[in-house]
Amino acid sequence: MEGLLPIWKERGMTSHDCVFKLRKILKTKKIGHSGTLDPDVDGVLPVAIGKATKVIEYMMDSKKIYTGEITLGFSTTTEDSSGEVVEEKPVDFNIDEDDIDKTLSEFKGVITQTPPMYSAVKVDGRRLYEYAREGLVIDRPSREVTIYSFDRTSDVVRNKEKETLSFSFKVVCGKGTYVRTLAVDVGAKLKSPSHMSDLTREASSGFNREEALTLSEVQVLVDEKRVEEAIFPLEKALSHMPSYELDSDEYLKVRNGSLLERQVYLAKDEEEIVFYYREKAVAIYKAHPTKSQYIKPAKVLRNELVV
């Protein structure tokens, strides 16, 4: 079995739980996922099976779409609704839709984020959440992420009893973005402690929620011996990359891992290219680190095709 399967991860399970259960359903061990979802978050979890696990890192490069809710008035340890409250401050009810819309627009483009302590980022060989569970707060490296759009999608809801303010949003972002941190940073600009009070991933790695299947739906397809119908070819994960269809002579060179002339295959601003043979992706080549006139294999995907 080989290919990509978009799973709809339901709330209450980790991404690892999802993969573990899928291995049992499909009776195969070689399965990996693209982009972790927190237990309280539901949404599209693209899964790679068999040889398709080789393209997971390229799946992560694609845009992601989230919908959710931000609540102003208090912040939490985890930056979402699952954490303990760390700061409370009655919200300024004079904050209106225009204030929020202007603030959200300021996040569009390339921004710098610091990963939350409750995240899977590794520092000194340990996950940040491991430090956080011990009550430790450590320095962590900031990184640049891209926000393509960030918009309010509902009216502002003012809760006078709880002294909070909430609104729904939709964000389209690049890899590595922490939406929880976006929620906190939005509050900071509005001078209010805040957190992400709800989140759903609507799309990831070229898959949307309409294409995603729950684990129970996958089980039904397996029982009906129709699961192959739901699996997408690994090529779908590479569709956003530059590509080139090889002839039989070129394919033999690629199959043997030969260096190729950069100027023949790569445009000046490109660093990687996917080589296809008979419409099947066979290898990904990248610029040679020391020989600027050549490109070299970065990943061999298939080498068993018959010329």
Catalytic: 80? Answer: no
Is 114 within 8 Å of 142 (Cβ atoms)? Answer: yes
Show Cβ contacts of residue 103 under 8 Å, excluding neighbours closer than 6 positions. Answer: 186, 189, 190
Cα–Cα distance measured from residue 295 to residue 283, given in angstroms and rounded to the nearest whole number:
12
Catalytic residue among 17, 38, 40, 96: 38
**Greatest distance between any 2 Cα atoms in the chain:** 73
The CB-side HSE value for 61 (13 A sphere, CA atoms) comes to 11
Q: Determine the Cα angle at 259 with ends 255 and 262, to 5°.
A: 120
Would you tell me the crossing angle of helices 215-223 and 15-26 to the nearest 10 degrees? Answer: 10
Cα–Cα distance measured from residue 7 to residue 13, given in angstroms and rounded to the nearest whole number:
13
Cα–Cα distance measured from residue 19 to residue 114, given in angstroms and rounded to the nearest whole number:
28
Is 286 within 8 Å of 271 (Cβ atoms)? Answer: yes
75: phi > 0 → left, psi -120 to 50 → alpha, else beta; which?
beta
Cα–Cα distance measured from residue 199 to residue 41, given in angstroms and rounded to the nearest whole number:
6
Q: Look up residue 227 and give its DSSP letter.
A: G
Residue 262 host element (H or E):
helix 262-265
Cα–Cα distance measured from residue 130 to residue 111, given in angstroms and rounded to the nearest whole number:
26
- The residue among 178, 191, 186, 189 whose CA lies nearest residue 78 is 178
Which residues participate in catalysis according to the annotation? 38
